[in-house]
């Protein structure tokens, strides 16, 4: 059996990519209302139609530390009547280590990817506690949301 005796080529130190550290995460604001209960429960024969809007905001608090807030609004309607409205702001204080041109994307794409499952758990539990079936959502493409928001902002200028 022969051994490979060729020296291992050392590569130059690769430049590390952008990173973020979640220092803490927290529920900033939560609101639930069911303005047409209890009548809506008697009327509903099928699940209500649910629309969900998601936004992300970031605020610099010092040097490379930011607050990122994932804002989720869910509204359910049944035959034109509001079944429920649930609004959730789930935030994180995060430290970002990245090149200046990468920071915005880390804050508005990578951090929300981390926060989303926690926010959805809060929303799902709240909706269920309000007497409705838990609200379940698939993954969100935060990169596409980021690009849409950038495009909309550039069109406004």
- pLDDT per residue of the chain (157 residues) written in tens, 0 to 9: 545 555 545 445 455 567 889 999 999 999 999 999 999 999 999 999 999 999 999 999 999 999 999 999 999 999 999 999 999 999 999 999 988 899 999 999 999 999 999 999 999 999 999 999 998 888 899 999 999 988 888 777 6
Please give the C-alpha separations between residue 127 and each of 17, 56, 115, 134, in angstroms, as whole numbers: 39, 21, 19, 6
CATH superfamily for 19-152 is SecB-like (3.10.420.10)
Q: Which of 59, 20, 52 is nearest to 120 (CA)?
A: 52
* Domain map (residue ranges) of the chain: 19-152
């Amino acid at each position: 059996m022969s051994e490979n005796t060729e020296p291992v080529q050392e590569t130059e130190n690769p430049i590390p990519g952008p990173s973020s550290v979640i220092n803490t995460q927290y529920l900033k604001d939560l609101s639930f209302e069911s303005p047409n209960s209890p009548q809506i429960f008697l009327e509903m024969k099928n699940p209500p139609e649910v629309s969900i809007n998601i936004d992300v905001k970031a605020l610099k608090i010092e040097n490379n530390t930011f607050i990122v807030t994932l804002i989720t609004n869910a509204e359910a309607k049944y035959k034109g009547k509001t079944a429920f409205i649930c609004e959730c702001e789930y935030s994180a204080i995060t430290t970002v280590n990245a090149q200046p041109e990468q920071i915005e994307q880390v804050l508005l794409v990578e951090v929300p990817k981390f926060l989303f499952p926690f926010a959805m758990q809060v929303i799902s539990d709240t909706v269920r506690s309000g007497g409705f079936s838990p609200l379940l959502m698939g993954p969100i493409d935060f990169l596409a949301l980021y690009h849409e928001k950038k495009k909309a902002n550039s069109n406004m200028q």
